[in-house]
Structure 1
Amino acid sequence: MNTENKGSDKLEMIAQQSFTAYPEMYKIVDFLNRTLKEKQIIFGLTKTKDGKMTISIYET
């Protein structure tokens, strides 16, 4: 993680959305992370116990 611009190791969440689980969603998140890393945007994906997924968008 590049922290030169902000001087902090903290990520700031800018959006989060839950939805029905999609088995290959991790491929989309990986694509977005590789494509937008220079824009200092990071995507996270979690799967909950109730079978939903949550995508989070962070700014570094």
Structure 2
Amino acid sequence: MDNKIELLSTISLKHSEDMYKIVNVLNRTLKDQDLMFGLALDDEDQDKAVFTIYRT
């Protein structure tokens, strides 16, 4: 069984306090379609967040 995670898309956005809520609802809603969403602060600019979409 291959458990490879495929990176589909990444975008850098202005950080917003509630962005994690969008990522949370996307993960809960679309996990059955083998999609996973991530959110992290940009290492170089703490005012930006990196939103990532993966296929699991």
Query: Is this a same-fold pair by TM over 0.5?
Result: yes
Which of 35, 44, 48 pairs up with 2:38?
44
Aligned equivalent of 1:15: 9
Could you list the per-position Cα deviations for residues 4-58 of structure 1 after superposition, in whole angstroms to 9, with x for gaps in the alignment? xxx2222100111001101100000000000000000000001124121010000
After superposing on structure 2, the runs of 4+ consecutive aligned residues of structure 1 that deviate more than 2 Å are: none
In the aligned structure 1, how far is the partner of 2:26 from the partner of 2:55? Answer: 13
CA RMSD of aligned residues (A): 0.9
- Scaled by the length of structure 2, the TM-score of the pair is 0.88
Q: TM-score scaled to structure 1, two decimals?
A: 0.83
Structure 1 unmatched ranges of 5 or more: 1-6
Question: How many residues matched?
Answer: 54
Taking every aligned residue pair, what percent have the same amino acid on both sides?
A: 41
Unaligned runs of 5+ in 2: none
